[in-house]
Structures are given as C-alpha cells and as structure tokens.
Homo-oligomer: A and B are copies of this chain.
Amino acid sequence: MKKSLILFVLSLISVFCQTKSVAQTIKVVNASELQTAIAKANPGDEIIMKNGIWKDLQIKFYGTGTKDQPITLRAETAGRVTIEGESNLQIGGTYLVVQDLHFKNGYTPSKSVIQFKINNDSIANFSRVTHCVIDEFTQPNREDTDHWVELWGRNNQLDHCSIIGKSNFGPTVRVFLNGNENIYNYHQIVYNHFGPRPRKGGPHGETLQIGDSNTSMAPSYTNVSNNFFDRCNGEVEIISNKSNFNEFRNNIFFESEGSLVLRHGNYCVIDGNVFIGNEQSDFIGGIRVINTGHWITNNYFYKIKGNEFRSALAVMNGIPKSPLNRYNQVTDVVVAYNTYIDCISPFQFGVGANVDKKDVLPASEIRSASPERMLVANNLLYNHIPDTNPIINYDDVSGITFKNNIFNSENKSSVTNNGLITQALELNKLSEALYAPSQNLEDVYNGFDFDKISTDLFGSERSKQNSIGAITVPVDGNPLLIKKERYGAKWLIKESSNYKSKTIAVSSKKSLINSLKNANSGDVLSLKAGIYKIDGSLAITKNITLTSSDKNKKAELRFTSNQPGFVMHPKGDLHLENVILKGDKKQVAITTLDKNMSKAFNLFIEDTEIANFQSVLHVYKAAFADSITIANSNIKNCSKGILLNTEIDAKGDYNAEFVTITNTSFDAILSDVLNYFRGGYDESTIGGNLVLENNSFTNCGEADESGILIQNHGIVNVVLSNNTFKNNPVKDIAILWGEKGQKPFNNSISNSGEIRIEQNLKQKLMY
C-alpha cells in the first residue's frame, strides 16, 4: 500500500516535471556542444548556433518535440551562421524545426545536404526546415551524385528556403517514398526560391523529383505550392513527378528551360501556376503529361515557345502495356480553364509518337497509344500576333474531347471541331505579362466534377464570376504575376554585383601572369603588341578578357611547353579578342581541369588566330561548357580541333550546351575539326546546340579515322548553313539527324565529302 503510494507520488512528480519543464534556450559554439545540446533537448527547447563559420559540420538533429512545443535548431542571427566545408544535416524525430542556416563554400560528404532521416529507424515526421539557404554547395566533381534536400517520413515542411546553383548530378530536392513510413507524406514544399540551376548537359538535373518509377504506385500527397522556380535550367524536367496525388499550385516557373513533367504516377493536380517564357528561348516549356487522371486547371502561360516535349501543354503518346519505367498511356486527364498568352502552338498531342522508329527501337519503346478519355475544355488562347497553328497533333486525337475552348487566331491546324472556337477577343493588360479578358467569357462547359474547380488563378470564386480561361474579371486589387519577396529566406541579401570591370595594361609575360592572377572577375587585360612566350599554363578561374591594345597589331601568345595554354577552372569565363595564340604542335591550346570541374566554364573567341597546336580545345570528362562561341577567327595547322567528346558513357550527357561558330576559317586541321558528342537514347536530354554558319573549312580532315569532317553524333539541335567546304579529303562533311529536323542550308562544297541526313539515329538504349 505504502509502496504503491510512493509510486503514485513519484509518477505525479514525473508528469508534473514533464509538462511543466520550462523551455530552454541553449547557445552552442561548436559541434560537440551542439550534439550534446541535441541529446538533452526537451520539447520547446531552442538550440542556438553562435554566429560565425562552422566548418566540416555534420549535424544529426534528433528528438521528440510536440506540435505546440517543437525543438528548434537555429542561427543566433539569421544570415550570420554559415556552414561550410564537408557538411550536412540529418533530421530524425518528431516536431523538429531548423531555421536560418546557410550552407555555402562546401559540399556534403554524404548523399544529401539536408536529409529528413538519420537512418531507417530515425525518420523525421512533422518537422520543418525554414528560412535556410543552400548556395552553390555543389560536389567538386559534377559526376558525383547528391541531393540537396531529401524528404523522408511524413508531414514534413520545406519552406522559405533559397536553394541555388546546383551544378552536379542529381535532383536538387527529392522526395522518397520507399517504405510505408514515407507514403501518404503530405509534405509541404512552399514559398521556396529554387534556382537558378545552371544547365547540366544531360539528365539528372531536375530541381524537384517526387518518387521514382519503382515507387510510382505510391500515394504521396506532396504539396508543392507558392514556390518560385527561377531559371531552373538543369535539364528538360524542372519538376519530375513520379508518384500519385501530388499537388502543384500557384508556383511561378520563370524562364526555366524545362517543364513540370508528370513523368510517372497519377491523379495529380496542377492548378493556378504561372509559366513565363520570353521572346528568345524555345527551351522554356510548360506542362508535360503522361499517365492517368491528372487535372490541369487555372494555369497561366506567357510566351511559352517550346515545341514537342517543351510545349506549353505536351500530351504524350504512351507505350501499350508500358514497362514500369517508360511511358504509360494518357487517360482520364482534364485540362480546363487555362490561359495561353502569346504561346506558339501551345497544345501538342501525341508528343513522342514514334511508330516510324520501329526499325531502330524495340517494341517496348514504341509510343503508339494516343490519349484516351481526355477532356480539354474552357481554355483561352490569345496571341497578339496570330498563331494559326494552335494545335499540333503527332497522332490520332479521337480520344480527346474538346469543349468550349476559345482562340483569337484562325485555326489552320489539322485538329478542328466545334469545341475549338475562333472568336475576336479583347484583353486588358493588368501588369507586366498579365492579361485578362475585358469581360468574362461565360459560355463555359460543365464537365464531370467541374464544380471542384471552384476558384480561378487569383482565388476568385467561379460560382460568383465565371469565365473561360484562368482569370475571371473583375480581378481584385492590382495583381502582379511575380512578387519575388514572397519566396526564399527573407534574410538573404543577394550580393549584387556592382563591380565595374577595369582594363589592365599588359606588356610583358610577367605582367600578364601577375595581372591574370590579381585581376577581379570581369576585368580586361589589354596586351601591347608583341610576342609573349609562355612556358606553362594560364589558369582561368574567373571572367577574364584578353585583348590587344592595338587591334591592328595583335599581341601573340606563344606557348612553348608541353603544358596546355589555358586551363579553364569552374566558373572560368575566357574571352579572347583580337589576339593570336600559337603553339609548337605539342600542346593543347585550351583545356579544362581534368577533375573537380564542379561548375561550368564559358569560352568566347573573337577576331583571333589560333595556330600550330596539338588541339584547339580539349574538354575533360565531367567538365561542361555552357557556351562556346567563336566568331571572325582563324584556326589553322593543328592536329585536332575542338574536342567535346569525352562523355562517352552513352547516358545522355554531353560537354557543352551551346557551340556557336560563325565567320571563322578552319585550315589544315588534320582530324576532329569539331567533335561534339552526346550518346545514349534518352529524351531527358534534348540538348546539345550547334550553330555553324558562314565558316570555311579547307584542307581539313585528312587524318580523320571517322571519315567525317564535322562530328555531331547525338546532338539534337544543329544549324549548318552558308559554310564553304573546299578540298577536305573526307567521305562525309557531316551526318545530320533527320528526325530532329536537321538539314543543311546553302553550303558550298567542292572536292570534299557530302552532307548526309540519317532519319533515325541508332543509339544505345539507356533503360
């Protein structure tokens, strides 16, 4: 009796202590204090990391908070705690909050920077990462794969984070669904600023991927809302949805060279998003649809000029009885109440249809199943300059029902029916890029379950004012399409580059080397006429221009060692203008680091002569140029030319995004005048862009084993026009890829090979 009384009192005390424990604030100054504080933390506690740089910090943040009393880990002052070096954060437990951390100047030693899981027995639930920044925290080797945020568990939130500049392999943010602990996750990915993510030159450059084909049958329920996808150019998929019941609402996709892709999984909602392109780019896309039961409503597309995979609405053909990781047929998809302003052929159906490729692909790759039971209704298409081809169909559209869609252009496409109506429309411009009809277009179609489309793009109730298109009028207030301040970590002040570049006069080898070392990014080195003998390599680690002070008397860099002339480093931008580079045939003129090319380089060559090298440009594997531009130059007497051919794994990767060569002469380049290679049958990489215009090629290719002067295997976009080919002893000048619309134009050929077109390229299957 007495014993049990004591037990009773003890348990009362214990309850009292638990519920009344006062939340503590624990300030920590190093990793060991941090882990100790974590181990001791109680609900309501705040662990505060002292301002400063924390280097090589691998945090395991675990604990059990409560809804009202979470355990918080945060910076002393937002923006003044940076985590650098080989660092990461793993979170496991319940109701944990991480706030105001800044990852920069480093990379993760594991497979993720922030992971909502410590191990399979310690997964995060009801936890939140907010107002954190991950900035260029990229692997030294671009080919090393990681994710910057991995979501596991259920009911976690990533909000108001700024996640910028991932250049290595792997989606930036990844939601995992492997295992029952991770389904029905209801994660909230909201109010983040994603990007810019640089072009990657191959697949695995998504900004967000939810699930994968192996878990594509899982119910996910991730909510991706109110995020700003800012120039997310990594690859053809900005978001790769690969699971079910996810929602994408009110996000901004700003000049991002890709699409929101419903790659696997079904029954997703894409509502109220804004897709903004521009006049110049054909790479900025909209929504690409595969699979079943999606609802695409209230979205606003502006100047989306992409085609096929990148069209504003790309509805793909499926593979009958598709393998799990390929393309299911589109069925039961609804596209309603969307607005397309100044988009080019925004509706594209049967995209990827490829029965004509049955000779080069196995049956399990042939997309012959056109959409079924699809409904396209109440959409508004407006073009200031008429687009008479609003619809492109690559296959039968008999499985698609069109109702009450309105264009303001004449419809000369091959799809016409009374659900596609041309009528004059009057639109008002409300703000930059934002157009609404001057009055509601009230003849809407009421499809099955359309009562669930209850509001418009701006949240106005459609039961009160309804119209075809994403916007009903009147529009409340004076809305803008983009309000940048809503997104990302509030405290992050962008270091705005106000630096004004300066010109540094150079007159000797020594001053050249010193100036190059000490210059700021953006500076110009102006070389006095004369010969600069360089017996080593010049490292390009920033944006540097080399030019001649007297354009009529070009300075000459004469390279004398076996070392390469220039070595491009990550983020190196080299501009050569009005100079001469000469070697003695034993060295490479320009190359890259052979490893740790973590970020892209750029190369601009103008009015420059390059002669007597072993090769002109050699790019190592895993190195990548965003742009290589050569104009008005002369390249001669080299064993090899421009070598962009080290991505030989046939996995869709390549060494440069844009290669543009104009008004340049190539003379006596013995082989590989240009060798630009992308291998592997993969539609995730629809890149590689080559422009060859107004150049001359003379006496080139005599030692070329391939027998092909210009090698562009697998490069998707090729322009070959107005060039002159003379006395090149090759079998072929180039082999163009007919399926991709490549054809030569107005080239002059004498005593050289021919330009051939192969309709279908035989490529190595990647799946």
Where the two chains meet, the residues of A that have a C-beta atom closer than 8 Å to any C-beta of B are 178-181, 183, 213-215, 217-219, 244, 266-267, 291-293, 321-326, 328-329, 331-332, 334, 364, 373, 448-449, 767
Judge whether A323 and B321 touch: CB under 8 Å: yes
Interface centre among A244, A321, A322, A448 (most CB of B within 10 A): A321
Judge whether A217 and B293 touch: CB under 8 Å: yes
Q: Give bound CA distance, A148 to B448, whole Å.
A: 27
Q: Give bound CA distance, A246 to B384, whole Å.
A: 51
Q: List chain B residues, Cβ under 8 A from A181.
A: 448
Judge whether B334 and A180 touch: CB under 8 Å: yes
B180, B219, B324: the one within 8 Å of A322 (CB)? B324
Q: List chain B residues, Cβ under 8 A from A321.
A: 213, 323-326, 767
Decide yes or no: A217 and B180 within 8 Å by CB, A321-B324, A321-B767 being known contacts.
no
Judge whether A180 and B213 touch: CB under 8 Å: no
Chain B nearest CB: distance from A537 CB in Å?
47
Judge whether A373 and B328 touch: CB under 8 Å: no
Q: List chain B residues, Cβ under 8 A from A215.
A: 292, 331
Chain B nearest CB: distance from A235 CB in Å?
21
Shortest beta-carbon contacts, A-B, top 8:
A321-B323, A321-B324, A217-B266, A321-B325, A217-B292, A180-B332, A179-B373, A323-B323
Judge whether A267 and B179 touch: CB under 8 Å: no
Q: List chain B residues, Cβ under 8 A from A329.
A: 214
Q: List chain B residues, Cβ under 8 A from A323.
A: 321-324, 364
Q: List chain B residues, Cβ under 8 A from A219.
A: 267
Chain B: CB-nearest residue to A180: B332
Chain B nearest CB: distance from A177 CB in Å?
9
Q: List chain B residues, Cβ under 8 A from A217.
A: 217, 244, 266, 291-293, 328
B214, B244, B449, B767: the one within 8 Å of A180 (CB)? B449
Chain B nearest CB: distance from A242 CB in Å?
13
Chain B: CB-nearest residue to A449: B180
Q: Give bound CA distance, A215 to B292, whole Å.
A: 9
Q: List chain B residues, Cβ under 8 A from A180.
A: 293, 332, 334, 373, 448-449
Q: Give bound CA distance, A326 to B267, whole Å.
A: 22
Judge whether A178 and B213 touch: CB under 8 Å: no
Q: Give bound CA distance, A329 to B292, whole Å.
A: 21
Decide yes or no: A218 and B293 within 8 Å by CB, A332-B179, A364-B364, A448-B181 being known contacts.
yes
Chain B nearest CB: distance from A689 CB in Å?
32
Judge whether B328 and A324 touch: CB under 8 Å: yes
Q: List chain B residues, Cβ under 8 A from A267.
A: 219
Chain B nearest CB: distance from A431 CB in Å?
36
Q: List chain B residues, Cβ under 8 A from A364.
A: 323, 364
Chain B nearest CB: distance from A339 CB in Å?
23
Q: List chain B residues, Cβ under 8 A from A293.
A: 180, 183, 217-218
Chain B nearest CB: distance from A220 CB in Å?
12
16 A/B residue pairs, CB under 8 Å, sorted by A:
A180-B293, A180-B332, A180-B373, A180-B449, A213-B321, A215-B292, A217-B244, A217-B291, A217-B292, A218-B266, A218-B292, A218-B293, A218-B332, A321-B325, A321-B767, A323-B323
Chain B: CB-nearest residue to A216: B217
Additional A-B contacts beyond A178-B373, A218-B332, A324-B328 (4; CB < 8 A): A180-B448, A215-B292, A217-B244, A218-B292
Q: List chain B residues, Cβ under 8 A from A325.
A: 321
Q: Give bound CA distance, A183 to B294, whole Å.
A: 13
Q: Give bound CA distance, A180 to B331, whole Å.
A: 9
Q: Give bound CA distance, A45 to B676, whole Å.
A: 78
Q: List chain B residues, Cβ under 8 A from A179.
A: 332, 373
Chain B: CB-nearest residue to A332: B180
Interface centre among A291, A326, A331 (most CB of B within 10 A): A331
